[in-house]
Structure 1
């Protein structure tokens, strides 16, 4: 019931015009960390736009998701530089530590993992981003430290790009 109210509040902030459909979906995505089916139905009715058109838009844009995501969305780069520097080893260790595969969400809703083609930080390879925060020059041993920082709802130090979990410089 509470979600229905939040969805309606987001939708009615916009005029009932098709041109606002992407903006509304982005706001819903921000509020829920994904776009619930009931929000798509409500938006379809409000804008008088076929559900199929909204669905195709939601699946076209990578920034939108129809599946729930964790509080912390982890994106592991598998671009050329990262791949060469063993990003798949990082992904494998991350999946092992979290007990999920890429595209899934942990049972507690805290983490979800995705692979991406490039994060534009090749000099930091291998790299992952957690909710916009970059973690580079990763080793499998770094991951527990980073995840624990998010689990404790504390910020991982910004300078961790050059530090391993013991705080020593990565070379």
Structure 2
């Protein structure tokens, strides 16, 4: 297992649409392990493979509530089958947009289909934080960031800040 570098905006790879996982191989399993290690180290509750510069439709997530507990989950080729009309507002953050948080409106619940590391296909209803997190991570797989849900003014301000920081870091 290894901690991988998390890419951050303005890296254009974050806008890439990720490819489906065709077969669960030892490389895919190793990627999931690395993603968990990277996510826990960051620390975060969800990570899409594209955030570690791998354009595959794979998500790791751990929404354990209590310190010292874990509930690691892997979602391969996840897709949202349906969304509720009810809206929920959560303050979201992103490991690819460090230390920036903003309230985002999303459907309060979704039905999602995904495959696990054993190749089993599941359908599950997600509500609350799980619904928000799975939508956020699936957005990553589609090249969408949570800041895309903000006003143009806020989005432009964030992009300007991170673009400037990236230029300074490159010097």
Please indicate, yes or no, whether the TM-score normalized by the shorter chain is above 0.5: no
Larger Rg: 1
Q: TM-score, normalised by structure 1?
A: 0.26
Higher helix share: 1
